[in-house]
Structure 1
């Protein structure tokens, strides 16, 4: 088991946004976290990252809890937020150096893989650039490169396709497939359901802070009594349109 969430109740104030959330993301598995705006996707991710403290419930990663082994827990996660979070005073290369030191990554491996990833995401030659020099899409690519270098047990990716061009989306998907082959787990929050359907093994549907459905597309089709030819996009639109969530 990689990520395990048990009966999570949480939010930002004394009034919970998440209500008894339970889910898992297994080794080598990509799980899509889907739901309407305000469903609780980002709040769930912030609890996983330790940015919010649960009211009750447990979150563990490979059996480790944040409060018990904070350094080991955090080093096991590669995080790509919806909005790029870069240090304005650090260059691209300095961000990579910081990731290497923070995660205690082998210097030789980072030096070998960095040029390959920078070239792949068309950031090569920009090692001395500061965040202010990059577009939002390029800043997102910096976050992706830094996360890929860590080779974490779990990737937590919040709306990864926003701001990325089609080639970058393709390259990101290929890189995530390679990480899965190494045994990494991936939890991905996204509204791009057509892409999610192609790359995710399972889906978790959140609505108003509750898990309303989870499973493969086939399992969701059965749960909501949909024909087998219905896409994830069609299923989701039909279910929300009929108020079944």
Structure 2
């Protein structure tokens, strides 16, 4: 068709579109935990996560299979090495991200803060931090602080063991479009990692988002960093600082 148009040919196209409207359906979040062990801190939460749904026409390998896998592997690492965190480490895989951050928004509204009345819910004072992965399959290169300047020096310290892997950047930028946003809006420290763009921009939300484009060593690298950040947050004397 493109060649015909370039050659000056007249092109006619007929499209038959069949549209089906579904009634509202429930979506689900999947939650797992490593329980805290410190009598004074075990009820506090360090949360890691990423969304488990994908765009309707996409296989979803990079968006967000890669983020999902990294978070799941981070929890496996912590469990396997026998970590005894002071705070509870919780992983949440969000449903409904691609259609409006519904899983994370619903969680925040039910357990953290009512966005209309600003009423604090039962986990508002319990959550220390939330770490999110949803910017494609690329290797972690740093982390965004969401303008939480007090977190900057903490992250600089935590990333020291990984400098030789290219994980070197702490940016004070605020970024959006994924599941850390509802937490950040509620005043909870919530952060998204900086990742190599790779070909994600061309394949995300498209039929080409296949698993053969994933670099498993990069995902393993990301999982180790998530595990390290979650561990450090869980072992701090204080909660992560809020803006």
TM-score between the two structures when normalised by the length of structure 1: 0.32
Point out the structure with the larger helix share: 1
Point out the structure with the larger strand share: 1
TM-score between the two structures when normalised by the length of structure 2: 0.32
